[in-house]
Every structure is written in structure tokens, then in C-alpha cells.
A and B are shown apart, each in its own frame.
Chain A
Amino acid sequence: MTNLRCERAERLAVRSMDEGITRADREFLSGHLAECEECRAFYRDAQSVLNMMREDMPDELDKAYLDSISAGLNKRLNEQDRRSARSGRGIQVRAGIAALLIVAAAGYYAVRQTDPSRTEVPAVKSAVAVDLYSLYGPVSDEMSEDVATWPELPESVETDFPESDRAVVTWLEPEEGSVDPLVLAF
């Protein structure tokens, strides 16, 4: 490309092969190509490149080929719908379980507050926060029923045990290894 006229001619050349140009532009282009060998070569080569690209592409698609794509697509869409449905059901099940747990927990605490076995025990004087698991290991039912069978608590633990050696004990069983304190109510 040697000058602005050549640059314009190149752009017009490509456009004439692509989307067409105005009569005035066509006149300019043909006049310029007649006198510029370099632009003539560009025009020829660019046309050859585009023609080759247009020749070198499938014109139409086989119906069987398209049908196989449709069939495969439908299969994949159905699989996806099934996955979505499963995932939706999974979410519903999880939400249901969570709701049940919330209701159960609320019920549990409500029962705890009104548990007649607790209110009947006159010796409910205090709550002792103790990491029971770390002191005694897993708590057994027997231990809960008979305070006398408990090992001695360390001095650091503040206690206010009832005179009676029996009490209702309520606790939350910790996970193994947990050091969460347990609340014991007497």
C-alpha cells in the first residue's frame, strides 16, 4: 500500500466483495485498480481468500445429523430436569428435616421448662456448669439418677447440691471429644 488512495482502494475492494459499494466508489476502485498493480494483486488475492473460505464450508446439514443432535439434546435436557428435580427434592427434604429439628428442639425446651419431674423436686437450687464429659466421660442414666454415685467434683467447681441424694438431671449429651460445658439442673 503506497498512499491514501491505495488504502481507500483496499477497503473498497474488500467491501465490494462483501457487502457491495456505491457506484461512485466502484468507479474510483476500478480506476485505481487499472493504474495500481499492487492494489490489483491485493484485490485478486483477497477475492481468492474469501472465495476459498466460502467454498470450503458445508452448505447444508443432513437431516439425520440434525435429528441426532436433537435427540442427544433432548436426552441431556431430560437428564438435567431430573437432576434439578432431585436437587429440588433434596432441598425440600433437608428443609423438612431442619423444620422438624426446630420443632423438636422447641418442644424439648418447652417440656424441659414444664417438666413435672423437675418442678416436683424441691431441691432445685442451682445450676452447675461443668464440662462433665471431660470429668467423667460419657454420662450414664444411672449416674443421672443417683448423685451419690458421682465421683467427687473438683473444688474449683461451684456446687450447691440438694440434701437429697436423688435429683433429676437434665443435660445435653456432648459429641465425643467436645469440651462444651453441660448445664446440670438439680
Chain B
Amino acid sequence: MSDGACSDLDSAGRITDADLVARFQKGSREVFSELTERHLRPITLIVLRMVRDEDTAKDIAQTVFLKAYEGLSSFQGTSSFKTWLYRIAVNTTTDHFRRCREHADEDVSQLPAPSMDCPSVQLDKAQSIARLRKAVTELPEKQRLTLQLRVYGEMSYSEIAEILGGTEGGARANFFQAVRTLRAGTEDRE
């Protein structure tokens, strides 16, 4: 739909998210499908990397977009739509872990790691990865989320700071502390 105004284009020559959001807020609900199409893949990917279960990731991803649909009319635009969406994704995933923390712990340790190595090496690797996954779940929340957004979401520290709150330096420090804690954790158990 065109509202008669000139649309800003992003680097890929598409209408910007901000423009689509403005159209949605003026009543063009159908533009939400375009926003979904743009962000569904990266949001689902990071959620899947965090929860490691396709069904759970599917449900969380849908919930994220449903919440976005519900809240978009009152979205103030103080951050970018993408940042806002990731914030919803992080909060929804965190809520999921809070609700079923013990199950999440069991789940991560049961998954085998994909590998082309011989069975004994594969087993060692699977055990190391299971330990690492467990250690990640045991990190303080902010460190864990920073690490996951940085590694799984390949986000900049300024984006992470926007999503989680805090400063870029704080996000960098959290990442460092997370790696340090994980290194210590995996070292203790070896």
C-alpha cells in the first residue's frame, strides 16, 4: 500500500523497516507479512541455536512475531525494529528457559555433536560439547545472552548493548567474562 509519501529505501533497495512499521501503525496490517519475511529466518536461527530444539524454536519464533504484531501499534521507534524484535526474542527465550530450566539442562546434554571423526573421538567431542552446553546454561544470564547474541547472532556489541541494556563496553566485558568462565568450567572437568 502506498500512503502517498516517499519511502526510504535500505541498502538493498527495499522499503526500510521503519517505513513498514509506520505503515502498519497507520492501519496497513498487511505489511507485517513483509516484516516477518525479512526477520523470520535470523530470529528463528538464533532461537534455535539457543534452545536446540526445532519444535521449541518454532513455537518461540511464532510467539515472538505474534507479540511483535500485538505490540507494534505502540512501538515508539526508540530503537530499530530489528533490535526491538531481538529483544522480544531474547525475553521470550529467557522466559522459556525459566519455565523449564531443568528440562533444558537435560536436553542439551543429550544431543550428539555432528562429526566425521572415528567413534571414540566422536564420543569425546560429544561429551565436550555436552559439557560446554551445560556450562553455557550455567553462566550468569547477561553473560550467557551476550555470548549467544555475539556468537550465534553475530551481533555487534552496540547492538547487544541495545538489546540487553547497558553499554558497549559492558557487553564486551560480559563476553570476555563468559569465555573466561566457560574456559575455567571446561578446564575443571577435564
Task: Please provide the 9 A-B residue pairs with the shortest distance between their CB atoms, ordered closest to farther.
Answer: A45-B183, A57-B49, A73-B62, A49-B182, A14-B176, A46-B183, A53-B151, A46-B179, A14-B179
> Would you call A61 and B69 a contact (CB within 8 A)?
no
Q: Is B123 interfacial (CB-CB < 8 Å)?
A: no
Q: Which residue of A lies closest to B50 (CB)?
A: A57
> Would you call A18 and B183 a contact (CB within 8 A)?
no
Chain B proximity mask over A144-167: 1 for CB below 8 Å, otherwise 0: 000000000000000000000000
Chain B residues whose CB sits within 8 angstroms of the CB of A55 once the complex forms: 113
Chain A residues whose CB sits within 8 angstroms of the CB of B44 once the complex forms: 61, 66, 69
Q: Is B161 interfacial (CB-CB < 8 Å)?
A: no
Interface residues of B (CB under 8 A from A): 32, 36, 40-41, 44-45, 48-49, 54, 58, 61-62, 65-66, 69-70, 113, 128-129, 132-133, 136, 147, 150-152, 157, 172, 175-176, 179-180, 182-183, 186-187
Chain B proximity mask over A72-95: 1 for CB below 8 Å, otherwise 0: 110011001000000000000000
Chain A residues whose CB sits within 8 angstroms of the CB of B54 once the complex forms: 65
Compute the total of residue contacts between A and B using a CB distance below 8 Å.
82
Chain A residues whose CB sits within 8 angstroms of the CB of B61 once the complex forms: 69, 73
Chain B proximity mask over A106-133: 1 for CB below 8 Å, otherwise 0: 0000000000000000000000000000
Report the bound CA distance from A42 to B176 in whole Å: 12
Q: How far is the CB of B36 from chain A (nearest CB, A)?
A: 7
> Would you call A61 and B179 a contact (CB within 8 A)?
no
Q: Which residue of B lies closest to A77 (CB)?
A: B69
Chain B residues whose CB sits within 8 angstroms of the CB of A68 once the complex forms: 58
A contact patch SS: helix
Chain B proximity mask over A7-32: 1 for CB below 8 Å, otherwise 0: 00011001100110000000000000
> Would you call B186 and A45 a contact (CB within 8 A)?
yes
> Would you call A72 and B58 a contact (CB within 8 A)?
yes
Q: How far is the CB of B95 from chain A (nearest CB, A)?
A: 17
Chain B residues whose CB sits within 8 angstroms of the CB of A53 once the complex forms: 132, 136, 147, 151-152
Name 9 interchain pairs, CB-CB below 8 A, sorted by A.
A18-B175, A19-B157, A46-B179, A46-B180, A49-B186, A58-B49, A77-B66, A77-B69, A80-B69
Chain A residues whose CB sits within 8 angstroms of the CB of B186 once the complex forms: 45, 48-49
> Would you call A52 and B66 a contact (CB within 8 A)?
no
On whether A49 and B132 interact (CB within 8 A), knowing A58-B45, A61-B44, the answer reads: yes
Q: Is A170 interfacial (CB-CB < 8 Å)?
A: no
> Would you call B66 and A73 a contact (CB within 8 A)?
yes
Q: Which residue of B lies closest to A42 (CB)?
A: B183
Q: How far is the CB of A168 from chain B (nearest CB, A)?
A: 56
Report the bound CA distance from A59 to B142 in whole Å: 24
Q: Which of A19, A46, A60, A69 contacts B62 (CB 8 A)?
A: A69
Report the bound CA distance from A14 to B175 in whole Å: 9
Report the bound CA distance from A34 to B172 in whole Å: 25
Q: Is A179 interfacial (CB-CB < 8 Å)?
A: no
Q: Which residue of A lies closest to B66 (CB)?
A: A76
Report the bound CA distance from A66 to B43 in whole Å: 11
Q: How far is the CB of A14 from chain B (nearest CB, A)?
A: 5
> Would you call B129 and A45 a contact (CB within 8 A)?
no
Q: How far is the CB of B77 from chain A (nearest CB, A)?
A: 22
Q: Is A37 interfacial (CB-CB < 8 Å)?
A: no
Report the bound CA distance from A55 to B133 in whole Å: 12
Report the bound CA distance from A57 to B136 in whole Å: 13
Q: Which residue of B lies closest to A72 (CB)?
A: B62
